[in-house]
Structure 1
Amino acid sequence: MLDLVPDTVMDRYLNSTQTAHDRQDHITRSILQFVKMYSAHFQQEGGFIVDAYAQRALMYGVPRSVEVMSSLLLAPGRFAARCSVCGATGEQSILTFNLQLEERLQAAYRGAQVAAFWVLQSITGEPVHPPDVLITEPDPQYPPEAVALSQLRALRHGNAAACFLHASPENKAAVGPLQRFSAMLRSLPQFAPLLAHETDGAHCPRLVAVEQLSSSSVDIDIAVLPSTPEMRAQFSNQRIVFRWSMKLQPGPQHKNCWMTDAVRLHRLQS
């Protein structure tokens, strides 16, 4: 897969401030290591993206199934394909592959010649199910992003039980039963924006960052805008970013389901 990385992307990385030894070590170890190191250094510059959906589906295991849904030649030298993917753990997602033609040197008789190759610009994912679906039971098919947004939706509608369903066993052991969880949500002021936030148009919750820490661990940042004047004043009319820390359950109960270990107020977003 490293052969599909554009030369411009590889050159940018090799010319970064890291030592040559470290750069080469990260590149040769694996495409996953390269993706993570490149994203850490050039996240703002863009140009090459393999997001958390794609990492889980393609780099942490062999997919169970891949089905091409559509493909399109966007322009001369630009191509896109959308695929329905079931990952090794049963997680379902839709991946979009964006490719472009790049001229490269290749070996030829008595020298080299220039040839055109398709290279990756990005692989990005999205959930199979509509974003407004309330997930009523843990299931391996649901990606962690969908689970986190479903929990937030449940809290907004005052349904603490639907949120508590997706708390991990460790989380439940620390928090206690549902009644205590509900009381905690109502009593702690830092959680108030989770219960009362805007849901319409430009003010709806935003998924602002996803960091795939390992095959079984992910941090998801969601920004919400408080819906009451009092809370907006308290938080200086800024969005509040909450971080979901989630784990893939080893089983036997809820095996391969993404569940929440913790949710905490992370930062403010102007």
Structure 2
Amino acid sequence: MPIGAFVGIGLIAGISWRLIQPDPSASTSALSPLDLAEFEKQVRPELGPAEVVAIQLESMRQAALDPERLKLCFAFASPSNRRLTGPFERFQRLVVEPPFAALIGHRHGLIGRPQIRGEEAMVLVSVDNADGQTRAYQFYLIRQNEPPFDGCWMTEAVTPLAVLPADAAVEPANSDQPALSL
């Protein structure tokens, strides 16, 4: 799908933040199970893929001023994504480094119309970062089929796609379906 065929930032199932091995030195003390449980209360089956991505993007935008906001983003990561990127402290280190650093504190974001096939969805996103660059990402989500998230869309992976010139315009693929703007 060409970059011009989407508007937005999204997490798409099947794509991961990075393929990594567990970090045995990572501490889990900063995010207790109770903390995560509080954020996980917002993970609900009635949220569609675009809504999940919007929540994650907003939490990453706000994380520039309040790093605790990343916990909400992590709460919407699928259990298998968490096994690859977690614990939270490791996830936090990953998203503040390139190629994902542009998501933290971005000035503006656009979320494309989700492409849903069965229990998987892809959402394309673009964000304008503080340097005036536009970056594109693909979010991959999977509808979970096991408790405690049965029926919930959660992000399986995020793939950086491109750095667009500052004057590049990204248009919705279908003019009768408006893009979400953050």
User: Normalization by structure 1: what TM-score?
Assistant: 0.43
Offset at residue 251 of structure 1 (A): 1.1
- Where does residue 57 of structure 1 map in the other structure? none
After superposition, the Cα gap between the structure-2 partners of 1:189 and 1:260, relative to the gap in structure 1 and judged at 3 Å, is: same
- The verdict on how the C-alpha distance between 1:148 and 1:135 changes in structure 2, with shifts beyond 3 A counting, is farther
- Contact 2:113 2:124 (C-alpha < 8 Å) held by counterparts: yes
Aligned to 1:71: none
Q: Per residue, is there more helix in 1 or in 2?
A: 1
CA contact (8 A) 1:135 1:150 kept: no
Q: What is the identity, as a one-letter code, of the residue corresponding to 2:57?
A: L
In structure 2, runs of 5+ residues without a counterpart are 6-38, 64-68, 169-182
Using the TM superposition, give the Cα deviation of residue 208 of structure 1 relative to its aligned residue in structure 2, in angstroms.
3.1
Aligned to 1:58: none
Contact 2:145 2:151 in 1 (8 A): yes
* Shift of residue 196, structure 1, vs aligned partner: 2.3
SS at match of 1:205: strand
The residue aligned with 1:211 is 115
Mapped partners of 1:135, 1:253: distance in 2: 10
State the 1:192 CA deviation. Answer: 1.2
Identity across the alignment (%): 24
1:126-155 C-alpha deviation (Å, 9 max, x unpaired): xxxxxxxx9962100111100101001001
Counterpart position of 1:147: 52
Following superposition, the deviation at residue 193 of structure 1 comes to 1.0
1:167 paired to 2:167 = no
* Residue 52 of structure 2 is aligned to residue 157 of structure 1: no
Task: Note the alpha carbon deviations across 1:208-242, whole angstroms, 9 max, x for none.
Answer: 34221x22000000110012x3xx3xxxx4x2111
Hey, what's the Cα distance between the residues in 2 that align with 1:135 and 1:243? 23
Cα distance, 1:258 vs. partner? 0.3
Q: Is the 8 A contact 2:110 2:125 kept in 1?
A: yes
Match among 182, 186, 193 for residue 92 of structure 2: 182
Kept after mapping to 1: 8 A contact 2:112/2:124: yes
Counterpart-to-counterpart distance in 1, 2:112 and 2:143: 21
Q: CA deviation at 1:185?
A: 1.6
Mind listing any 5+ residue stretches in structure 1 that lack a counterpart?
Answer: 1-39, 45-133, 199-203
Are 1:196 and 2:105 matched, yes or no?
yes
Find the residue that maps to 1:142 and give its secondary structure: coil
Work out whether residues 207 and 220 of structure 1, in 8 Å CA contact, stay in contact via their aligned partners in 2. Answer: yes
Taking structure 2 as the reference length, the TM-score comes to 0.62
Deviations 1:169-223 (A, max 9, x none): 100111121111111122x22111100211xxxxx311234221x2200000011
Work out which structure has the larger RCO, using CA pairs closer than 8 Å and 6 or more positions apart in sequence: 2
Q: Structure 1 residue aligned with 2:125, among 212, 216, 222?
A: 222
The residue type paired with residue 141 of structure 1 is E
Q: Distance in 2 between matches of 1:175 and 1:168?
A: 10
User: Counterparts of 1:30-69 in structure 2 under 5 Å?
Assistant: none
